[in-house]
Amino acid sequence: MNKADTFRALHHHRPPGDPLVLPGPWDAASARVFEEAGFPALATPSAGVAASLGYEDGATPAEEMFAAVKRIVRAVDVPVSADVEGGYGLAPKELVERLLETGAVGCNLEDSHGGVLKDPREHADWLAEVRYAAGDRLFVNARIDTFSRGVADPDRAVERAALYVAAGADCVYPIGAPPAVLPLLRAGIQGPINVGAPVPDGPSPTGLGELGELGATRITFGPGLQRRAAAALREVAAGLR
């Protein structure tokens, strides 16, 4: 079984209270920390990588993002999925080629641009082209931005999810969905669901099992881990003055 197949298998046949927890490394050093802690796979956050490179979220040049992902993949043996935002304007075939060159086994793709939701059918057509170009070599996580763009009706997220799953997405990510609506999303969406969670306050992943019970197949943290690490470093730096 190759790494892409291994990564895909991690998303299936999971008990409801045992979601796949994917920490988000922002550089090679953090990736090694997460691998050493025993996580079976990792998922880079674009905002966390941007911060590590000195950019605002959404402002990282494609070349630098792919290079950062490649360094992370090279540093660990576990599968790595990459958040590549909206695909940087690349044609699906080129996007897939660039991702495979990094060694990533999956990707996270947004369905909004410049704060505006994309037309869901057009985006589904684009995802279908990505799926066709990738075959089984990439696990496609289709982000659904309705909640983060102020559309609170879960039915709108379910409608987009249906289009994206039909287009070949392996997983959907209704970012910003309140925990209370997760059972509704779970009932209406086929396949794995990615849920974003706050970084736990302590060493134990308190509450992550509860998110799994509500409907989360996998859990990611966005840039939360990078920001927490930066806050800890600020405290150390302040103590040195």
Q: Is the pLDDT of residue 228 over 60?
A: yes
With bands split at pLDDT 50, 70 and 90, how would you rate the model's confidence at 205? Answer: low
The token pair at 50 is 């941007």
Q: Where are the alpha helices (DSSP H) in 82-207?
A: 92-102, 120-134, 154-166, 182-188
DSSP code for 202: S
Reply yes or no on whether the pLDDT at 70 is more than 60.
yes
Pairing state of beta strands 80-83 and 106-109?
parallel
The answer to whether residues 178 and 149 touch, using CB atoms and an 8 Å cutoff, is no
What average pLDDT does this structure show over 105-126? 97
- Token pair of 91 as six digits: 């044609």
**Does the pLDDT value for residue 74 go beyond 60?**
yes
Mean pLDDT value of segment 182-210 = 86
SS3 string of 62-103? Answer: HHHHHHHHHHHHHHCCCCEEEECCCCCCCCHHHHHHHHHHHC
Bridge-based pairing of strands 80-83 and 20-21 is unpaired
Long-range contacts of 174-179 (CB under 8 A, 24+ apart): 174/144, 174/146, 174/147, 175/143, 175/144, 175/145, 175/147, 175/148, 176/145, 176/147, 176/148, 177/147, 178/147, 179/210, 179/211, 179/214
As a whole number, mean pLDDT of residues 210-227 equals 96
Residues in the chain: 241
Scan for tokens 């999810």, then name that residue.
Answer: 161
Question: What is the average pLDDT across 166-188?
Answer: 97
Is 70 exceeded by the pLDDT of residue 206?
no
Higher pLDDT, 181 or 205: 181
The per-residue pLDDT of the chain, averaged, comes to 96
Whole-model pTM over 0.85: yes
Give the pLDDT confidence score for residue 235 in this predicted structure: 96
**How much is the pLDDT for 220?**
97
Query: If you average pLDDT over residues 55-66, what whole number do you get?
Result: 97
Cβ atoms within 10 Å, residue 73: 24
Euclidean distance between CA atoms 232 and 55, whole angstroms? 20
Tell me the pLDDT band of 200, cut-offs 50, 70 and 90. Answer: confident
Would the pLDDT of 202 be above 70?
no
Q: Determine the 3-state secondary structure of 174 from DSSP.
A: strand
The average pLDDT across 137-166 equals 98
Report, as an integer, the average pLDDT of 138-156: 97
Cα–Cα distance, 102 to 95 (Å, whole number): 11
| Residue 179 to residue 142: CA distance in whole angstroms | 19
pLDDT surpasses 90 at 16 = no
| pLDDT of 203 strictly over 90 | no
